[in-house]
Structure 1
Amino acid sequence: MSDDLECDHESVPVRRPVARKASKARTLTEIRSLARSHTKTAVNVLVGIMRSDDSTPAARVSAANAILDRGWGKAAQPLENGEDGVLQLIHRIERIIVHPEHFDGEDAGAIA
């Protein structure tokens, strides 16, 4: 090689890997953790609204429901369907077997 064609490798900038953005799952975990750290304060606010005579009745009921839901879970909701009021679940598995000798050729382009 001639001297004119030699490359100076030291002058080529080196790219470092770009730091990856935080994953969505990690972000959601951080948000949950932050929210949970304020649980005691949030419950105290709800209790204050529930006990306050200055709060509207709707706000007091909403706060009371929120407190009960967090402490005891939401009440189970009955599921009703059909004329007799009972939820009817129908499971159906259907299997269609096509024999090559009975194939009419309509979908031949899709198979070929």
Structure 2
Amino acid sequence: MSEDIEIAGEPSPPPAVKAKSRARTPTEIRLLARGHTKAALKVLVGLMRNDEATPAVRLSAANAILDRGWGKSAQPIESGEEGLETVHRVERIIVRPEDAVEGDADPKA
């Protein structure tokens, strides 16, 4: 009798269990993606130059290439109120030790 034949009453072997793959870290994913940079860029350039591709596809590929080569352009932020401008101010305050209020820590200590 062959060993592969199941005999009634005998338990069947457990099903093969696939080893669980561990979750990858963002750094690992980034490194894997960067490994495909040349191929991805070739695809984008091919789409951009393909006369049979729709204008939307060609434009999207061209924008992706520019964004990666030169960075995305700055986007204006709408505040909802016209004429309102954000003003940034940097103030420098100099405190002299002799002007310190009593009870403050002694700078010479």
User: TM-score when scaled to structure 2?
Assistant: 0.54
Partner of 1:86: 85
Counterpart secondary structure, 2:25: helix
What does the per-residue CA deviation read over 1:22-68, in whole Å, with 9 as the maximum and x for residues that have no partner? 5x6x6221111110000011011000000001111000000000000
For 1:46, give the aligned amino acid.
Answer: L
Amino acid at match of 2:66: L
**Which consecutive residues of structure 2, in runs of 5 or more, have no partner in the other structure?**
1-20, 89-109
User: What is the aligned residue count?
Assistant: 67
Runs of 4+ displaced beyond 6 Å: none
* 2:55 paired with 1:36: no
What's 2:43 paired with? 45
For 2:25, the equivalent position in structure 1 comes to 27
Contact 1:50 1:63 in 2 (8 A): yes
- Structure 1, gaps ≥5 residues long: 1-20, 90-112
- 5 Å matches for 1:1-16? none
**Cα contact 1:47–1:63 (8 A) shared by 2:** yes
Aligned pair 1:62/2:77, yes or no? no
Equivalent pair of 1:80/1:87 in contact (CA under 8 Å): no
Cα separation, 2, equivalents of 1:46 and 1:78: 27
TM-score (norm. length: structure 1): 0.52
Larger helix percent: 1
Amino acid at match of 1:31: I
In the alignment, the residues of structure 1 paired with residue 78 and residue 87 of structure 2 have an alpha-carbon distance, to the nearest angstrom, of 8
**Larger RCO (CA under 8 A, 6+ residues apart):** 2
| Distance in structure 1 (CA, Å) of the matches to 2:87 and 2:77 | 10
% of aligned pairs identical? Answer: 63
How well do the aligned residues superpose, as a CA RMSD in angstroms?
Answer: 2.3
